């Protein structure tokens, strides 16, 4: 595995650490570790920038899906400063995954996320 591959996988690992942080203080710390200060997150339901905006989107996901965890689905693929990966939102109670998506991230020179473009591939009715 090349250093470049590790760069993408490390960034994605920090991304999931932020998305899975339930405690607000831990979430703020994880968001700061994963994103640049002016980092952005855009998906069909949100378009925010900055650590506070990103942390608020993550908190809202936890409120809507308590007891769920974001998990990588498949591998991480990347080139230059861009990586893509798929994920699922998995229930800790029964293992179901009602939500799934694919994200494309852009990294800065230190491997922190500058931007996320998220796509929802599977969403439950009424969500």
Structural tokens at position 98: 């009602």
Q: How confident is the model at residue 124 (pLDDT cuts 50, 70, 90)?
A: confident
Spatial separation of the C-alpha atoms in residues 94 and 103, rounded to whole Å: 25
Q: What is the mean pLDDT of the chain?
A: 95
Residue-wise pLDDT tens digits, 110-120: 999 999 999 99
Q: What is the pLDDT of residue 125?
A: 79
Residue-wise pLDDT tens digits, 39-50: 999 999 999 999
Task: Say if residues 105 and 41 touch (Cβ distance below 8 Å).
Answer: no
* CB atoms inside a 10 Å sphere around CB 127: 10
CA distances from 4 to 78, 107, 108 (A): 8, 12, 13
């Amino acid at each position: 595995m090349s250093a470049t591959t590790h760069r993408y996988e490390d960034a994605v690992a920090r991304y999931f650490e932020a998305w899975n942080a339930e405690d607000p203080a831990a979430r703020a710390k994880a968001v700061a570790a994963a994103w640049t200060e002016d980092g952005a997150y855009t998906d069909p339901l949100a378009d925010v920038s900055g650590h506070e905006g990103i942390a608020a989107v993550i908190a809202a996901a936890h409120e809507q899906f308590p007891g769920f965890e974001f998990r990588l689905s498949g591998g991480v693929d990347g080139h230059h400063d861009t990586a893509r990966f798929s994920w699922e939102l998995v229930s800790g109670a029964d293992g179901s995954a009602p939500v799934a998506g694919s994200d494309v991230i852009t990294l800065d020179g230190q491997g922190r996320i500058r931007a996320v473009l998220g796509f929802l591939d599977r969403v439950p009715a009424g969500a």
